[in-house]
Amino acid sequence: MKLPSSCLGVLNLRQGSFVIGVVQLTINCLSLVGFIITWAVLSSPAGGPPSVDLSTAVERPPSTVDIPQPDGSIITQTTGPLMVHSEEALSSNTFFALLFGPAVLVSLVHVAFSVVLVVGARREQPCLLLTWLVYQAVVLVLSLLSALATFVLALHMSEYVLLAAVGGVLGGSVLLAFCFVVVLAYRRELLRGPTHTVVVRQPDMVKMVNIA
């Protein structure tokens, strides 16, 4: 496969890989800060929901009640599900921890690998670039699988609004694939080593030869 020799024809591969790392690092840091702030605000007494009712309510399954009648017969009546309070129910803080904890963890992983790309591109380290490429390949595969699952779900439930989400995921996947190709080309360039130009003089001509 022929890989590009520049990034959009404006930056060389090293500069393009470095810019990709910086942009990813900035976006991931902003996402991380946003998740942490939202988590803190919703978990605080002022910003979160009351610590009663909904946060401690659990659903009791339906039950049956036998009601005796004057004629001696018995009518069985089914009661609907009841919302009752339980000390074992999840508190609001636990709910938000389960909601935002994984998001913060994933953002931290994204930030770490963005740093790996920035350092690898700046210091010309193929091993660090390979680490980022492997991680990026996993992210790309998971993105495509999520897009496929969302597409099937949208068709099954006739919720065609979800197709917009599929389009967004596919657009992000295309952008990730472009970044992947640029960094892969830069790593291959590093493995080939620098290129030197040698002038070969002959009686009737001068020939330029590139030697890797």
3-class secondary structure, 169: helix
Candidates 130, 114, 113; CA nearest to 21 is 114
pLDDT at position 69: 67
Q: Which of 10-19, 176-185, 199-208 has the highest mean pLDDT?
A: 176-185
Mean pLDDT estimate for the chain: 75
In eight-state DSSP terms, residue 66 is E
Cα dist from 55 to 48, 139, 169, 201, whole Å: 10, 34, 33, 84
Share of the chain above pLDDT 90, in %: 26
pLDDT digits (tens, 9 = 90+) for 41-72: 877 765 444 444 444 444 555 566 666 666 66
Query: Distance (Å, rounded) from C-alpha 45 to C-alpha 61?
Result: 31
